[in-house]
Chains A and B, each alone.
Chain A
Amino acid sequence: QEKVQQSPESLIVPEGAMSSLNCTFSNSASQSIWWYQQHPGKGPEALISIFSNGNKKEGRLTVYLNRASLHVSLHIRDSQPSDSAVYLCAVRRTGGYKVVFGSGTRLLVSP
């Protein structure tokens, strides 16, 4: 059974700062990794995905994947109060269909 752990549990950053979230997974065969954002009362929404070692940038978001260390991180540049939400790391094994989620990091961006 895949295990996904996220840190920190909660994070408070001032507006305009960089937010950095971490995720470790238990199996190197986890080839597909997503970060989801969830606002209160809403379902999770996919933000960015990465499928190969290295980094990927989309707008203010950058994700880094290191398969050797089973670690992926999400960095949000110029954080805004609207970025305040729970961020979920999700992994799926090669050829599989089941997506396993971490317990989330609660981000609060203070104005």
Chain B
Amino acid sequence: NAGVIQTPRHKVTGKGQEATLWCEPISGHSAVFWYRQTIVQGLEFLTYFRNQAPIDDSGMPKERFSAQMPNQSHSTLKIQSTQPQDSAVYLCASSQESQNTLYFGAGTRLSVL
């Protein structure tokens, strides 16, 4: 079991460009979460899918962030018109059921110049 796989590990974008982050959850896990981690804010919840259905996106900045899970093997987080304040480590996690332990990927470090 390779664990949760996130690609790319690092992404650098210019201000105003689009960034797409990829996550492959652990096979058989029904719950997928996206978090954002910064020094100032720590780990912040962004969005949650259960059995591929979007359940809660309350942590997502509404205008420029979107997340999808087109099949059980991957989820994407898309940030349009990236801004310097979007610079952070974006972490994807999966769990067998919604109430179980989260297993995190290594994260994607996004740098917006």
Interface membership of chain A positions 78-111, coded 1 if the CB is closer than 8 angstroms to chain B and 0 otherwise: 0000000000101010011111111110000000
Indicate whether B31 reaches chain A with its CB closer than 8 angstroms. yes
Flag if A97 contacts B31 (CB, 8 Å): yes
Q: If the complex has contacts A97-B99, A98-B45, A101-B43, are A43 and B104 also in contact, measured as CB distance less than 8 A?
A: yes
Flag if A46 contacts B103 (CB, 8 Å): yes
Contacts of B45 in A (CB 8 A): 98-100
B residues with CB within 8 A of A: 4, 31, 33, 35, 42-43, 45, 48, 50, 55-56, 91, 93, 98-99, 101-107
Q: If the complex has contacts A43-B104, A45-B104, A97-B31, are A88 and B99 also in contact, measured as CB distance less than 8 A?
A: no
28 contacts between A and B (CB under 8 A): A32-B99, A34-B101, A41-B106, A42-B106, A42-B107, A43-B4, A43-B91, A43-B104, A43-B105, A44-B91, A44-B104, A46-B101, A46-B102, A46-B103, A49-B101, A88-B43, A90-B102, A96-B99, A97-B31, A97-B55, A97-B56, A98-B56, A99-B33, A99-B45, A99-B102, A100-B45, A101-B35, A101-B42
Distance in angstroms from B15 CB to nearest chain A CB is 25
A residues with CB within 8 A of B: 32, 34, 41-46, 49, 88, 90, 92, 95-104
How far is it, in angstroms, between the C-alpha of A83 and the C-alpha of B111 when the chains are bound?
29
How far is it, in angstroms, between the C-alpha of A96 and the C-alpha of B102 when the chains are bound?
13
Contacts of B33 in A (CB 8 A): 99
Contacts of A32 in B (CB 8 A): 99
Flag if B42 contacts A102 (CB, 8 Å): yes
How far is it, in angstroms, between the C-alpha of A42 and the C-alpha of B107 when the chains are bound?
7
Contacts of B101 in A (CB 8 A): 34, 46, 49
Contacts of B105 in A (CB 8 A): 43
How far is it, in angstroms, between the C-alpha of A43 and the C-alpha of B35 when the chains are bound?
11
Q: Which of A41, A97, A98, A104 has the most C-beta atoms of chain B within 10 angstroms of its own C-beta?
A: A97
Of chain B, the residue at the smallest CB distance from A41 is: B106
Contact of A43 among B42, B50, B56, B93 (CB under 8 A): B93
How far is it, in angstroms, between the C-alpha of A90 and the C-alpha of B50 when the chains are bound?
20
Of chain B, the residue at the smallest CB distance from A4 is: B42
